[in-house]
Each structure stands twice: as C-alpha cells, then as structure tokens.
C-alpha cells in the first residue's frame, strides 16, 4: 500500500520578509504576493506552513516543499530551504530559477520525522543595473508541504 500523504498550503499573502529594506515594494493582493527588489540586493522570504506533526499518534514525515511562483527577467529564486523548527531539513541552492514555476517541488532528503512547525524559505536575488523595478518582481502564489504518514510497516508494528 502506498504511503498516505497530507498536503498543507498557505497563500502567498502569508509571506514574511527577512530584510524588508532590500525590497522596493511588497503588495499582498488576491491572487499572489508581489515583491519588487532593489537592484543588486538579495533577501529571504518565509512561508510558515500549518504542520500536522502527529497523525493517529504517529509522527508525520517531511516529504517535499511545494512552491508556486513566477519571476520577471531580473529576479531569481536561488535557493529553497526547509526548516523544521530551527533545524534545516532540506537545502536546495544555486537554483537560478526564473520565469514560471507554478508547480515547483523540492524533495526533503530521507523524509525525516516532523518535530515542530515547518517553514519554507526562498532565497531571492535581484540583478544590478536593471532598467526598472518591474523587471525585478517576483509573484508567489503559494507555498506548501507534502507530509507523509509513517510507512505501512511502522503503522502495523506499532498499531
């Protein structure tokens, strides 16, 4: 029997910015959150995910981070980091993602047990010398996490 999955999403408008002074604008609107970067800057944006740490008295496992976003020509998503509480459980770096990535998926290696709340962090960069701020925009529709129930053997052995 395949593993049971639970997926939890947050809308882009729930985003928190780490260094707000490195952006020229943040607009929370109906379909997404739009950020405009300052030329030559970088920052991290965070998406706290509702986290089912335990289901049926068993710890859930972190499966994959899911992100839906698009960038303009002078904006880049260069890393995706997944935290469980204060522990990094996945780091995807040197990505160089531009354009439409409306169904991006980033695996969490070894699918560790979830202990606390999940936070998905996007590292974003903005090119120096961009002609205007419009070309340094990123729109994030949402971020989510795929959680996996314990393997069937573990459920049967402990259940």
pLDDT 10s digits, 17-69: 999 999 999 999 999 999 999 999 999 999 999 999 888 888 999 999 999 99
Q: Kindly report the CATH number assigned to the domain that includes residue 24.
A: 2.60.120.260
HSE at residue 115, side-chain half, CA atoms within 13 A, is 9
Distance CA 36, CA 26 (A): 6
Whole-model pTM?
A: 0.91
What is the tally of structural domains in the chain? 1
Q: How far apart are CA 112 and CA 99, in angstroms?
A: 31
100: Cβ contacts below 8 Å, ≥ 6 apart: 70
Structural domain that includes position 61: 5-158
The pLDDT, as a whole number, for residue 155 is: 45
Q: Comparing 70 with 55, which gets the higher pLDDT? A: 70
- Cα separation, 141 vs 73, whole angstroms: 18
C-alpha dihedral (131, 135, 137, 142), degrees to nearest 10: -170
| Amino acid 4: pLDDT | 82
């Amino acid at each position: 029997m395949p593993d049971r999955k639970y997926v939890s999403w947050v809308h882009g408008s729930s985003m928190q910015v780490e260094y707000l002074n490195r952006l020229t604008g943040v607009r929370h609107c109906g379909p997404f959150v739009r950020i405009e970067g300052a030329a030559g800057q970088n920052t991290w944006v965070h998406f706290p995910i509702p986290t089912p740490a335990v289901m049926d008295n068993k710890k859930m496992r972190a499966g994959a981070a899911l992100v839906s976003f698009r960038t303009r020509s002078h904006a880049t998503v260069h890393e995706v980091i997944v935290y469980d509480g204060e522990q990094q459980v996945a780091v995807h770096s040197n990505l160089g993602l531009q354009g439409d990535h409306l169904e991006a998926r980033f695996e969490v290696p070894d699918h560790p047990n979830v202990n606390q709340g999940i936070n998905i962090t996007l590292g974003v960069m903005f090119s120096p010398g961009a002609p205007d701020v419009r070309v340094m925009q990123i729109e994030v529709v949402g971020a989510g996490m795929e959680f996996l129930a314990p393997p069937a053997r573990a459920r049967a052995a402990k259940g």
